[in-house]
Amino acid sequence: MKKLVSILYGMFFVVSLIAEETPNVTEEKKVETIHTLKLGGKELRYKATAGQIHLKDDNGKVKATFFYVGYTKEGLKDPSTRPITFCFNGGPGSSSVWLHMGAFGPKRIVLDDLGRPVAPYRTEENEYTLLDQTDLVFIDPVSTGYSAAAKSEEAKQFHGFDEDVKSVGELIRTYVTRHDRWTSPKFLIGVSYGTTRAAGLADHLHENANMDFNGLVLISLALDFQTLMFHAGNDLPCITFLPTYAAAAWYHQKISHKEYPTLEPLLKEVETFAYGPYASALLKGSKISKQEEQEILKKLSLYTGLDEIYIQRSNFRIPALRFTKELLRNSEKTIGRFDSRIVGLDCDPLAQHMDYDPSFEALFGPFTSVLNHYLYSDLGWKEDQEYKILTNVHPWDCGKEGKYLNVATDLKEVMCKNPNLKVFVANGQYDLATPYVTAQYTLEHMDLNPEIQDHITLHLYPAGHTLYLDKSSMVQFRQDLARFYKESP
């Protein structure tokens, strides 16, 4: 079936519209295998567990079956003192395949330096795995991977912020209890909407299960949706996206490298303009003077690489899905939304918006192939059912927050209640799905108590949305994470 593409809220993961078929509920299945990995010149022996956990209602009836893959270090006298990390991607509607096979699992898909899979697609030992620091559990939320509601018509009851947090929270609580990990230092790693989930989970499990986490790793931050959603009357994304537009324009040489030989000074200049003259001009609306309009127009053209007439006709407001189409329109090419360095050919040169995301299309097929092969051949999980890499979970209920979900408040609350919690935020300079300034803005407006302000650190890498796929970024990212784990109590 031809894959249709939609973009939820104009942000996060692109989701494929795949029919949801749910198998009959059976007994929980689990397959355990023992492996070794050479890491830092030493051999690490670990157990891999591909398994299921049933989610039950108050009457003991199965509501859903979660699929997970866990990795635990072998040979420890007391595993309950070793850190454990629960990992998930975003979407909503994404499985954990990207973090599993692209970032922290013991096997990683072979990639080029920009993070694009190399054909023929295969895996190799992952020198960046976190197994030397922590045990790992990769979670597929309901309707993704092999996780599913007991009845397909009931899947929608899991498709919402509150519902998702409750179900994933129950899975984590059950796993921790069954494996005697209550005394282990506990961490969450989430990407994109997975950062939304992680912030909600930390607060939910503190309140409802008395479970505290030592650290959160939030990759490609998405806590305040108002910073990310281009809607009429919401000018905030116009401001927060502009520096990333400049990064993309600079990379594709639409901004003079003679005038700006390196990217960082340009980004600082654009940030100052975005928060200052540009924000002021947007606030004035139709009251802006002709002189100021011309000044803003020239700066926007310089920083975005777009034609002044196009910017003026856009009313000085440029949605991301138009920018990705417009920057290289004359070459009939489109830049990536996940990674604006990646270029693809236009399917429809006359369209207003991007036809597809070339930085996404480069990943979907290869990751699907290696994940299915790895589960079947390496982990011994023999399954005919389709593993849903990405799936449609529309409509997604954002709960009481409505249009602009903001879980920065949840994060603030749990950080106040659990002052030992440390938060590591990582963003990419070329990410047009969750730009780095949206992360800066969100963190700067959390109004944290000064005593815990330094418990959040923001790290910026020269990469895109899936920054862990970029080789140079991953080297530094992995070093930064190792330090974070050692410094988190």
- What pLDDT digit, counting tens, does each position of 141-200 carry? 999 999 999 998 889 999 999 999 999 999 999 999 999 999 999 999 999 999 999 999
Q: Tell me the average pLDDT across 108-113.
A: 93
Q: Is the CA virtual torsion 351, 354, 356, 358 positive or negative?
A: positive
Which phi and psi angles does 19 have, rounded to 5°? -60, 140
Q: Considering its fold, how many domains does the chain have in total?
A: 2
Chain mean position to CA 454: 23
- On the CB side of 357, how many CA atoms lie within 13 Å of its CA? 27
Long-range contacts at 117-123 (CB < 8 A, ≥ 24 apart) = 117/362, 117/363, 117/366, 117/367, 117/370, 119/366, 121/366, 121/369, 121/370, 122/370, 123/370, 123/373, 123/374
Q: Any idea what the CATH number is for the domain that residue 51 is in?
A: 3.40.50.1820
Q: Using the structure block, give the residue that is written with the tokens 């639409």.
A: 254
385 and 454 in a single domain? The answer is: yes
Asked whether 355 and 361 are in contact (CB, 8 A), the reply is no
What was the pLDDT predicted at 113?
Answer: 85
Q: Is the pLDDT of residue 24 over 80?
A: no
User: Do 321 and 411 have their domain in common?
Assistant: no
Residues 446-458 pLDDT 10s: 999 999 999 999 9
Phi-psi region of 478 (alpha: psi -120 to 50; beta: other; left: phi over 0): alpha
46 and 190 co-located in one domain: yes
Looking at the fold, whether 175 and 258 belong to one and the same domain comes out as no
Choosing from 300, 328, 359, the residue where a domain stops is 359
**Domain co-membership, 44 together with 130:** yes
Band of residue 25 on the pLDDT scale cut at 50, 70, 90: low
SS3 219: strand
Average pLDDT of span 208-237:
97
305, 293 contact by CB (below 8 A): no
Instruction: Looking at the structure, tell me whether residues 279 and 174 fall in a common domain.
Output: no
Which pLDDT tens digit goes with each residue over 272-289? Answer: 999 999 999 999 999 999
Nearest-5° Cα angle at 482, 264 to 198: 80
Among left, alpha and beta (phi > 0; psi -120 to 50; other), residue 432 is alpha
Q: CA 182 to CA 358: how far, in whole Å?
A: 43
**Position 459: which residue type?**
H
| Domain edge (last residue) among 343, 359, 375 | 359
> Can you give the pLDDT at residue 135?
98
**What domain range is 387 assigned to?**
5-225+364-487
- Of all residues in the chain, what percent are helix, strand and coil, respectively (each to 5)? 40, 20, 40
Q: What is the pLDDT of residues 306-345, one digit of tens each?
A: 999 999 999 999 999 999 999 999 999 999 999 999 999 9
Give the per-residue pLDDT at 41. 87
Q: How far is CA 345 from CA 255, 328, 354, in A?
A: 21, 10, 10
In whole angstroms, give the CA distance from residue 103 to residue 130. 9
pLDDT of residue 127: 95
What is the rounded CA–CA span in Å between residue 125 and residue 107? 5
Q: Does one domain contain both 267 and 127?
A: no
CB-CB contact of 397 with 201 (8 Å): no
Residue ending a domain, among 314, 341, 359, is: 359
156 and 10 co-located in one domain:
yes
Q: List Cβ neighbours of 231 (8 Å cut-off, separation of 6 or more).
A: 403
Q: How confident is the model at residue 402 (pLDDT cuts 50, 70, 90)?
A: low
Looking at the predicted structure, is the pLDDT value of residue 301 above 90?
A: yes
- The mean of the pLDDT values for the chain is 92
